[in-house]
Amino acid sequence: MVDKVQGGDHLLKPLKWYKSLRSAKGRHEAQAFIVEGRKAIEQIIKHNPKGLLELIVRNDKKEEYHHFPSAHIIGDRQFQAVATSKSPQGIIAVMALPQNYMDNVLPPKSGSRILMLESIQDPGNVGTLIRTAAALDFSGIILSPDCADPFSPKAIQSAAGATFSLWLRKHSEYPQMMKTLQKEGFSLIAADINGSEKLTDPGIRKQVLLLGNEGQGLSDTMLTMADEILTIPFNKNAVESLNVAIAGALCMYHLR
Encode pLDDT of 62-112 as tens digits. Answer: 888 877 868 889 999 999 999 998 888 999 999 999 989 999 999 988 999
- Smallest CA-to-CA distance from 153 within 102, 68, 95 is with 95
Domains and CATH numbers, the chain: 15-96 (3.30.1330.30), 113-255 (3.40.1280.10)
Angle at alpha carbon of residue 156, lines to 74 and 226, rounded to 5°: 165
* pLDDT at residue 66, rounded to an integer: 78
Strand duo 228-230 + 187-196: pairing = parallel
Distance CA 135, CA 140 (A): 12
* pLDDT at residue 163, rounded to an integer: 95
CB atoms near residue 63 (< 10 Å): 7
Output phi, psi for 96, to 5 deg: -80, 140
Name the pLDDT band for 230 (thresholds 50, 70, 90). Answer: very high
* pLDDT at residue 3, rounded to an integer: 39
Contact 12, 78 (CB under 8 A): no
- Smallest CA-to-CA distance from 245 within 215, 211, 220 is with 211
Residues 6+ apart with CB under 8 A from 248: 115, 129, 132, 133, 191, 209, 211
* pLDDT at residue 10, rounded to an integer: 67
Distance CA 124, CA 155 (A): 5
Tell me whether residue 201 is exposed, middle or buried, using C-beta atoms within 10 angstroms of its C-beta: 0 to 12, 13 to 18, 19 or more: exposed
| Alpha-carbon radius of gyration of the chain | 20
Residue type, 210: L
